[in-house]
Chains A and B, each alone.
Chain A
Amino acid sequence: MCVSLRWLLAPLAVLAFAPQALAADVPQGLRAWLRAIDTVPTPDVLRRASKRCEHDLDAVARDPSEGIYLRHRAISFLSMLPSAEAESRLTAWLDKAPGATDAALRETAVLAWATGPGRRDVAKALPKLLPLLDDPVAGVRAATARAAVLVSRPRDARAHLVARLAKEQDAKVRAALERAITTATNARNH
């Protein structure tokens, strides 16, 4: 009888120490916006949907048990919030070591960072983005090429894009660089 009881208790003990999903406590209102097919909230609407908006978005983005669309949406929503915490959390995705997370999430983070913090602060946009042109992951390099011309002064990126093109071997990254160089050449810095 005692042996049987011990076997019954063992799985309960395992459950007690099982890691909780990172985003389990995210408010339903914020989840609804993350699930939307084609609508985008304003920063004010996001703040009303969650008191800990930056924390909750990052939690969804980091939680592998969440749907892939929700994770990408959560990362991109961080770019819309004009707060130091949102920028810090989004920047952390750029700084993740290759292989530490799904590369596609980093690609979305690069693009989102360029449209958010990259437009809010012209001075730090390219210094932050351009090192990622040398990232070991081809998709991240391609995303960086596209991102470099989304910032407020795209013409400033041109020389760096040309330099990277000279040594880039990956065909898809080369195509992204060539498109970005054309955009940078034609752009009015605004």
Chain B
Amino acid sequence: MPIPLVSAITDSLTLSIDGAGTWWTLAQLTGPDGISPVSKGWLGLEVSPLTCATCLNRVSAAPGFATFQIPATPAVTLLPGGWTYRLHGFRFTKDDKGFEPVPGAPEVCVVYGKEPMAPRQAALIDLNLFFSGAYGIHADEALEHPRIASVIEEFNAVWAQLGLSVRAIRAYDLPPGHEDVLSTDGPDDDLSALFAFSAGKPPGIGIFFVKTLLVSHTDLPGGAVVLGLTGSVPGPPLVGTRRSGIALSLDLQTGMPDGLPLTAAHEIGHYLGLFHVSEAGGSPADGLPDTADGDKSNLMYFAQNPESTGLTDDQGWVVHRSPWVYPPGLEAP
């Protein structure tokens, strides 16, 4: 499929795929020079279609509503002219053996980037915080609650390295019944129901505070607890979709220090387009030239670690191309 013509005044775009009931990823992306930052045939080379770690432009699949940032690395240039892409829809097989293709014709939305920004340029983001009532935390006093206040404090401290700070913070209560997320894809999954509450709110990254967070797929038996989960990497460029948000578990984080603030900063990194600098399985991860595999000092290290707070220039380059990041003096996108 062709992407409507890329002009010379932007250096990035965000491609979103809306197709309920199926996981979506980019099977191929080719520029006007014939080079494919998402290479043809990668699905046959990787262990799973969930992430292309061998693609120059990293892509990560998501269920129902998937989003891809192009470029996701300064090593790729968004040349003006015609770009084409191919999509791949799939699902987990019920026998625990792997994945199978699913045909479909999703809707595609393209959001073009703003004018280029420097990797550490001063910039703003807006946050919409949603409270499930877990641990007795409600919107009216949430910003004074020590755990929530520390999330904002940590965000500003960590992301200040790249010039980012929070401009607007809005807090909302969720209706009863959303304290736990126990299913994360499928026709009526908890995560999509949660993120749907971002609809109609002002533009901002939705952060949902729940008690328990269990990753459980409709087609694959079993469930695993996690500390946080972003709807997709990167997050959708608009509110109200079934992947528009970050869920954070208030459980299992307590300790000295509380892991919640760093988990929140890490998940926001995913939402702004960053991948892990290394994965638990040891596979190559973000593909950025200036991040080191296994760097425990980086915010995007895969495991919780109080020392994981660093960010690099190339990571700054990526997040400054997120639709959610805007320069002072402009309105939120």
Residues in chain B near residue A104, CB distance under 8 A: 251
Residues in chain A near residue B214, CB distance under 8 A: 76, 111-112, 115
Q: Look across to chain B and name the residue whose beta carbon is closest to the beta carbon of A172.
A: B179
Residues in chain B near residue A146, CB distance under 8 A: 180, 182
Min distance, Cβ A28 to any Cβ of chain B, angstroms: 10
Q: Contact between B280 and A150 (Cβ–Cβ < 8 Å)? A: no
Q: Contact between A36 and B302 (Cβ–Cβ < 8 Å)? A: yes
Find A80's partner among B183, B221, B267 (CB 8 Å cutoff). Answer: B221
Q: Contact between B222 and A112 (Cβ–Cβ < 8 Å)? A: yes
Stretch at the interface among A7-15, A39-47, A93-101, A162-170: A39-47
Find B182's partner among A29, A72, A111 (CB 8 Å cutoff). Answer: A111
Find A69's partner among B180, B302, B304 (CB 8 Å cutoff). Answer: B304
A85-97 vs B, CB cutoff 8 Å, 1 = contact: the mask equals 0000000000000
Q: Contact between B176 and A175 (Cβ–Cβ < 8 Å)? A: yes
Residues in chain A near residue B157, CB distance under 8 A: none
Interface residues of B in 58-100 (CB under 8 A from A): 96, 98
Q: Contact between B48 and A179 (Cβ–Cβ < 8 Å)? A: no
Interface residues of B in 205-264 (CB under 8 A from A): 212, 214-216, 220-230, 251-253, 255, 259, 263
Query: Does residue B9 face the partner (Cβ distance < 8 Å to A)?
Result: no
Q: Contact between B224 and A40 (Cβ–Cβ < 8 Å)? A: yes
Find B226's partner among A40, A82, A120 (CB 8 Å cutoff). Answer: A40
A63-86 vs B, CB cutoff 8 Å, 1 = contact: the mask equals 000011100110011011110000
Tell me which of A37, A73, A120 has the highest count of chain B C-beta atoms within 10 A of its own C-beta.
Answer: A37
Residues in chain B near residue A29, CB distance under 8 A: 280-282
Q: Contact between A37 and B228 (Cβ–Cβ < 8 Å)? A: yes
Residues in chain B near residue A111, CB distance under 8 A: 182, 212, 214, 223
Docked CA distance A65–B180 (Å): 27
Residues in chain A near residue B183, CB distance under 8 A: 150
Give the size category of A's interface with B.
35 or more
Residues in chain A near residue B279, CB distance under 8 A: 39
Query: Does residue B35 face the partner (Cβ distance < 8 Å to A)?
Result: no
Docked CA distance A187–B186 (Å): 13
Residues in chain B near residue A43, CB distance under 8 A: 96, 222
Q: Contact between A69 and B227 (Cβ–Cβ < 8 Å)? A: yes
Docked CA distance A77–B224 (Å): 6
A130-144 vs B, CB cutoff 8 Å, 1 = contact: the mask equals 000000000000000
Q: Contact between B223 and A33 (Cβ–Cβ < 8 Å)? A: no
Residues in chain A near residue B267, CB distance under 8 A: 37-38
Q: Contact between B304 and A115 (Cβ–Cβ < 8 Å)? A: no
Tell me which of B47, B267, B281, B282 has the highest count of chain A C-beta atoms within 10 A of its own C-beta.
Answer: B281
Q: Contact between B252 and A69 (Cβ–Cβ < 8 Å)? A: yes
Docked CA distance A116–B217 (Å): 10
Q: Contacts A40-B224, A76-B224, A80-B222 given; indicate if A45 touches B281 (C-beta within 8 A).
A: yes
Q: Contacts A146-B180, A175-B176 given; indicate if A37 touches B304 (C-beta within 8 A).
A: yes
Q: Contacts A79-B221, A150-B183 given; indicate if A37 touches B227 (C-beta within 8 A).
A: yes
Docked CA distance A68–B225 (Å): 12
Q: Contacts A146-B182, A150-B216 given; indicate if A79 touches B222 (C-beta within 8 A).
A: yes
Query: Does residue A32 face the partner (Cβ distance < 8 Å to B)?
Result: yes
Q: Contacts A38-B227, A38-B230, A115-B222 given; indicate if A32 touches B280 (C-beta within 8 A).
A: yes
A13-29 vs B, CB cutoff 8 Å, 1 = contact: the mask equals 00000000000000001
Residues in chain A near residue B320, CB distance under 8 A: none
Docked CA distance A82–B220 (Å): 10
Docked CA distance A182–B176 (Å): 12
Tell me which of B216, B259, B270 has the highest count of chain A C-beta atoms within 10 A of its own C-beta.
Answer: B216
Q: Contact between B302 and A37 (Cβ–Cβ < 8 Å)? A: yes
Residues in chain B near residue A72, CB distance under 8 A: 225, 252
Docked CA distance A21–B182 (Å): 31
Q: Look across to chain B and name the residue whose beta carbon is closest to the beta carbon of A78.
A: B222
| 30 contacting pairs across A/B (C-beta < 8 A) | A29-B282, A32-B281, A36-B303, A37-B303, A37-B304, A38-B226, A38-B229, A39-B276, A41-B281, A45-B281, A69-B227, A69-B259, A69-B304, A72-B225, A73-B224, A73-B225, A76-B223, A80-B224, A82-B96, A111-B182, A111-B214, A112-B214, A112-B225, A115-B182, A115-B222, A115-B223, A119-B221, A146-B182, A150-B223, A175-B176
Chain B positions within 8 Å of A, measured between CB atoms, are 47-48, 96, 98, 176-177, 180, 182-183, 188, 212, 214-216, 220-230, 251-253, 255, 259, 263, 266-267, 270, 276, 279-282, 302-304
Chain A positions within 8 Å of B, measured between CB atoms, are 29, 32-33, 35-45, 49, 67-69, 72-73, 76-77, 79-82, 104, 108, 111-112, 115-117, 119-120, 146, 150, 175, 179, 182, 187
